[in-house]
Structure 1
Amino acid sequence: MILEPLLWMLIGHALADYPLQGDWLSRAKNHTLSLVPGEAIWPGALMCHAAIHAGAVQLATGSWVLAGAEFVAHAAIDHAKCAGRISYNTDQLLHVLCKAVWLGLLNTLVT
């Protein structure tokens, strides 16, 4: 089924953004918060969170290129949300739209 990778990417997103993220990581990746006084831990936390999402995309598509695109896009979108430039709902919509783009690129690369 041509939509199967999209469904797996969406399932991976649901897992990575909810049970695999947790409250601590959600706050640690936010550059506007300081969980550890005197230390900027948000870059590492944000990169780890984006890497989990990239891994889900790689597992769903078999493509490291798309995983890399997901890593960059997810980190940028979450950074914008933490900065207050976009809302939570816009954040989630953009993540889903990225998955649709990855599916289109996957189908273009494969055919």
Structure 2
Amino acid sequence: MFPDPSHHPPALDLFLMLAMGHFLGDFALQSDRMATEKCPGHDVTLPWYWWLGSHAAIHGFLVGLITGVPLLGLAEWVAHALTDIGKCRHLYRLPGDQAIHLATKLLWTWLVVRS
């Protein structure tokens, strides 16, 4: 009834899990307030860096959990925060932001699979 998972390349499986985790973190787990107030100058209830740090930490946790590598979680925490700062500064829009995030997940996949 279900396809045999042993026929899937492990890299594809890992990338798909990271991508799904990313969309969970960026859309389902990010409130409207967090999405707005994580940008400098738009913070009202808390300083922006608390919102951004918390949002990026969720992504770091998901990457660490999915890969089993806490240091990749830390790398994701930093990479996600830097990418979102670029979006806050209008260096790119949502499609560019999401492309950068997914490219980062490809990098994590490559690092895990090659080790």
* Unaligned segments of structure 2, at least 5 residues: 1-8
TM-score (norm 1): 0.89
Aligned partner of 2:6 in structure 1 is: none
Aligned partner of 1:86 in structure 2 is: 92
Using the TM superposition, name which of 1-10 and 83-92 deviates more.
1-10
Residue identity (%) = 35
Q: Deviations over 1:11-63 (max 9, x none)?
A: 11111000100101101101131324xxx611111000000001111111001
Instruction: Give the number of equivalent residue pairs.
Output: 106
Task: For residue 4 of structure 1, give the secondary structure of its aligned residue in structure 2.
Answer: helix
Aligned partner of 1:28 in structure 2 is: 37
* Unaligned segments of structure 1, at least 5 residues: none
Distance 2:22 2:43 in 1: 26
TM-score (norm 2): 0.86
1:17 aligns with 2:26: yes
Aligned partner of 2:47 in structure 1 is: 41
Structure with larger Rg = 2
The letter of the residue matching 2:35 is S
